[in-house]
Amino acid sequence: MTSTNKTTPASDRELVLTRIIDAPREKVFKAWTDPELLKQWFAPAPWTTPAAQTDVRPGGSSLIVMRGPDGNDFPNSGVYLEVVKNERLVFTDAYTKAWEPSEKPFMTVILTFEDEGGKTKYTARVRHWTVADRETHEKMGFHQGWGQCTDQLAALVARL
């Protein structure tokens, strides 16, 4: 399914997850950009993703709602900064929609999808505004949570 690969953070404000996913990068990219697919893997179980909206283009907005086991919803709004089909997605929560600044920017995510002979080298670089934000994200369980979601992503694209 997936294998872990080590990638070094570029700074003390960055968290990184790299995996080799046994699926072509077109499928992995689609699972990140198709709202119906996003809802199937985005939140670490037992959390769910009841709603997802994407306008996948530079300046386009996204809204992904994660629901906790207690039934509380956690909406995540953002804006795409860069989109290179099947290669790269960059988005941030610094803006909510139409370049409206968010109340508290937390991170910018840089996803890369590299061809590895029919498999995908998937790298998620999460850059935070401050070291404290990075530490908070790490304590929230970044490695475990993003790792579990990546496992769910890999399982989904294996079935596509």
| Cβ(88)–Cβ(82) below 8 Å | yes
Cα 47 to the chain's mean position, in Å? 15
> Which residue pairs from 101-108 have beta carbons closer than 8 angstroms and sit at least 24 positions apart in sequence?
102/77, 105/129, 106/133, 106/137, 107/133, 107/137, 108/81
Q: CA 124 from chain center: how many Å?
A: 7
Is a pLDDT exceeding 80 seen at residue 10? no
Q: Are strands 73-84 and 61-67 parallel, antiparallel or unpaired?
A: antiparallel
- Mean pLDDT to the nearest integer, 35-63: 97
Residue 36 token pair: 């119906």
Model pTM score: 0.92
β pairing state of 61-67 and 48-54: antiparallel
Q: Give the CATH number, domain containing residue 13.
A: 3.30.530.20
Q: For strand 14-21 and strand 48-54, is the pairing parallel, antiparallel, or unpaired? A: unpaired
CA angle 124–130–132, rounded 5-degree value? 100
Would the pLDDT of 59 be above 80? yes
Q: Give the number of domains in the chain.
A: 1
| pLDDT for residue 4 | 55
Query: Mean pLDDT of all residues in the chain?
Result: 94
Nearest to 95 by CA among 78, 75, 74: 78
- The parent domain of residue 141 ranges over 2-159
Q: pLDDT digit string (tens) for 105-129? A: 999 999 999 999 999 999 999 999 9
Helix, coil or strand: residue 43: coil
Residue 3 pLDDT > 60: no
